[in-house]
């Protein structure tokens, strides 16, 4: 099973070990493949990973261990080795248990980037390498607390105790209370006494906004919480979960912060191990949806059942996209994954046309309840959206492959309508398909923008140059259904002032607010963001 865990580092009183000295340590049986300039570096820690791009989790001086299961093509080797070299790693130990033999592109990449490369026989486990190197770092006659801690946490995980067992072991050994949070901040294991769920949610949002991990945030009413990230097995996505622990980790006893990162690494292990299964599910789901589109109902039903989805129960299609986030469109997958963690029986998520699609079992729910679930998950990640936004489209619940095709079409159209909205989280359902926004959504974006700029752009330019509010006046007038008095009251201006502004709008745009056709044009233009 591939493992991704935090760096176990040199402790105070220990001694660094030269990379070249690793060959002389009994029991390691390392075989040098690429000497590299880094062979003269000092090893200050051990880091095991199968992430495709682990650079952001390294501090420098680590002996990196990998089973190479991230490898799919020579480009993968370039990305992985470049990340290690850029982070200042001491050397790489590449195992082959997960892939059979080491691809030639791995040593070639190490040669290019000047990174020392070793391999190790299948009979020597990474746990043995880790404990042996840590013992060498601790010095003669010294026990490695990092190795002892790692052994205890792994034993807890192997016993099947899961995340609850890990946080219990951590709390018992360190005296620090902690809770495991989902990507959106939902508590899933453990707890921190005297920190209510409401306060925990608020502090988690503050931690997301700060964007630095590990990080420390004050708790309203007193105290602090330290946040540690659980790595996502998918590149370019935010952390898959978080460990929230009481107090400031910088004030903890020596080794406790390392223990917290070790807990996070073990929590990430199952996610990395399950990545291949998710890839298979995604491929099967993509094939199932294609069968639905092609009208092959019987074949589609069978394929959906193989994924654990009951086509004769209610399934609802949901489409989500995110824009303007540091994580780009990948944040949409995180939103849907959070919904799937709360609702058993959801399908895998698949990427299509810049968005992510998922099938949700809805039972007695309607599309509005499902949309609200997704909207709530997106709202909890609002700090990661920054100045960007998320669009959520939901189809009506469907029974059977034929009805599911309709739900898929509705979800995609609703998603396009939501994208035309305003605000940070924009939601639309099948009910919105009778709106004029559906017609706008079917028009190419460049045509929509030309139409809007022709009518509204000139007013925005005038407002900027004259510090006026013609766009706001036009919006209020249309919202008041063309009532002069209601609009004047809403804007707190005299009717004559309103009349002057509306005349100016007509002069600048060449459209008359006295005709229904021109009012419709203005309404459509204002609907385009």
Report the CATH number that the domain containing residue 476 is assigned in CATH.
1.10.10.2840
Q: Mean pLDDT, the chain, as a whole number?
A: 81
Q: Are 360 and 466 contained in the same domain?
A: no
Residues 424 and 289 in one domain: yes
CATH of the domain at 204: 3.30.450.30
Residues 118 and 227 in one domain: no
Within a domain: 116: yes
Asked if residue 349 is part of any domain, the answer here is yes
Residue 356 clears pLDDT 90, i.e. is over it: yes
Strand (E) or helix (H) holding 93: strand 91-94
38 and 121 share one domain: yes
Q: Which one of 381, 416, 441 terminates a domain?
A: 441
Same domain, 196 and 287: no
What is the structure's pLDDT at 9? 47
| 78, two tokens | 């370039």
| pLDDT score of 315 | 85
Domain-embedded: residue 150: no
Under a CB-based contact definition with an 8 Å cutoff, are residues 206 and 384 in contact? no
Looking at the structure, do residues 395 and 476 belong to the same domain, yes or no?
no
Q: Is the predicted pLDDT of residue 242 greater than 90, yes or no?
A: yes
Within-domain flag for 265 = yes
The tens digit of pLDDT for each residue in 272-283 reads: 767 777 888 888
- The answer to whether 5 and 146 are in contact (CB under 8 A) is no
Q: Which of 236, 252, 273 is the last residue of a domain?
A: 273
In a domain, 99, yes or no: yes
Which neighbouring-strand residues pair with 216? 226
Same domain, 303 and 421: yes
- The verdict on 138 and 171 lying in the same domain is no
Q: What DSSP character marks residue 58?
A: -
- Which of 388, 412, 441 terminates a domain? The answer is 441
The contacts found for 281-285 with CB under 8 angstroms, 24 or more apart, are 281/307, 281/347, 281/348, 282/348, 282/349, 282/350, 285/347, 285/348, 285/350, 285/359
- My answer on whether 374 and 493 are in the same domain is no
| pLDDT at residue 13 is higher than 50 | no
The answer to whether residues 53 and 196 belong to one domain is no
Same domain? For 390 and 474 the reply is no
Most confident of 180-194, 443-457, 511-525: 180-194
> What percent of the chain shows pLDDT beyond 70?
87
Closest CA to 415 of 317, 492, 337: 317
Nearest one of 185, 181, 180, 179 to 379, comparing CA atoms: 185
- Parallel, antiparallel, or unpaired: how do β-strands 178-182 and 187-191 relate? antiparallel
Q: How confident is the model at residue 353 (pLDDT cuts 50, 70, 90)?
A: confident
pLDDT tens by residue, 300-330? 778 788 777 877 778 888 999 999 888 888 9
Q: Identify whether residues 289 and 433 lie together within a single domain.
A: yes
User: Is 152 among the domain residues?
Assistant: no
Q: Is 295 left (phi over 0), alpha (psi -120 to 50) or beta?
A: left
Find, among 158, 206, 140, 157, the residue nearest to 382 by Cα: 206
Q: Any idea which of 60-64, 146-150, 263-267, 424-428 has the lowest mean pLDDT?
A: 146-150
The count of domains in the chain is: 4
Full residue range of the structural domain in which residue 370 is found: 276-441
């Amino acid at each position: 099973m591939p493992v991704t865990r935090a760096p176990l580092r040199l402790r105070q009183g220990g001694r660094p070990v030269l990379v070249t000295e690793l060959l002389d340590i009994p029991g390691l049986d390392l075989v040098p493949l690429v000497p590299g300039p880094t062979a003269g570096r000092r090893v200050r820690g051990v880091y095991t990973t199968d992430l495709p791009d682990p650079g952001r989790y390294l501090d420098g001086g680590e002996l990196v261990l990998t089973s190479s299961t991230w490898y799919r093509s020579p480009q993968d080797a370039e990305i992985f080795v470049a990340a290690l070299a850029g982070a200042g790693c001491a050397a790489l130990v590449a195992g082959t248990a997960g892939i059979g033999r080491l691809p030639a592109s791995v040593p070639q990449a190490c040669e290019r980037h000047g990174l020392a490369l070793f391999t190790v026989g299948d009979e020597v486990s990474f746990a043995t390498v880790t404990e042996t190197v840590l013992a060498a770092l601790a010095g003669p006659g010294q026990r490695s607390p990092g190795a002892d801690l790692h052994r205890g946490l792994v034993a807890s995980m192997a016993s099947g105790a899961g995340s609850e067992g890990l946080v219990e072991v951590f709390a018992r050994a360190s005296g620090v209370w902690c809770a495991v949070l989902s990507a959106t901040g939902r508590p899933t294991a453990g707890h921190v006494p005297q920190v209510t769920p409401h306060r925990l949610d608020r502090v988690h949002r503050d931690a997301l906004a700060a964007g630095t991990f590990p990080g420390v945030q004050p708790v309203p009413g007193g105290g602090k919480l330290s946040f540690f990230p659980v790595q996502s097995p998918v590149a370019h996505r935010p952390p898959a979960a978080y460990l929230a622990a009481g107090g400031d980790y910088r004030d903890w006893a020596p080794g406790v912060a390392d223990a917290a990162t070790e807990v996070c690494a073990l929590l990430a292990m199952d996610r990395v191990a399950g990545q291949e299964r998710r890839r298979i599910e995604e491929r099967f789901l993509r094939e199932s949806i294609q069968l639905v589109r092609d009208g092959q109902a019987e074949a589609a039903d069978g394929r959906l059942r193989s994924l654990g989805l009951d086509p004769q129960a209610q399934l609802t299609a949901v489409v989500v996209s995110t824009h303007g986030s540091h994580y780009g469109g990948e944040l949409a997958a995180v939103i849907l994954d959070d919904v799937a963690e709360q609702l058993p029986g959801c399908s895998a998520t698949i990427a299509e046309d810049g968005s992510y699609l998922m099938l949700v079992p809805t039972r007695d729910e309607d599309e509005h309840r499902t949309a609200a679930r997704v909207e709530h998950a997106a709202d909890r990640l609002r700090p990661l959206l920054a100045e960007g936004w998320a669009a959520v489209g939901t189809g009506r619940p469907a029974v059977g492959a034929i009805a599911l095709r309709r739900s898929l079409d509705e979800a995609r159209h609703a998603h396009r309508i939501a994208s035309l909205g305003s605000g940070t989280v924009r939601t639309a359902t099948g009910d919105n398909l009778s709106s004029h926004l559906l017609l706008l959504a079917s028009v190419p974006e460049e045509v929509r923008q030309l139409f809007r700029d022709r009518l509204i752009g000139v007013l925005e330019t005038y407002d900027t140059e004259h510090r006026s509010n013609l766009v706001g006046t036009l919006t209020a007038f249309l919202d008041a259904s063309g009532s002069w008095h209601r609009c004047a009251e809403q804007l707190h201006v005299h009717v004559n002032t309103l009349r002057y502004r509306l005349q100016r709008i007509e002069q600048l745009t060449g459209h008359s607010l006295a005709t229904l056709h021109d009012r419709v044009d203005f309404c459509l233009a204002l609907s385009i963001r």
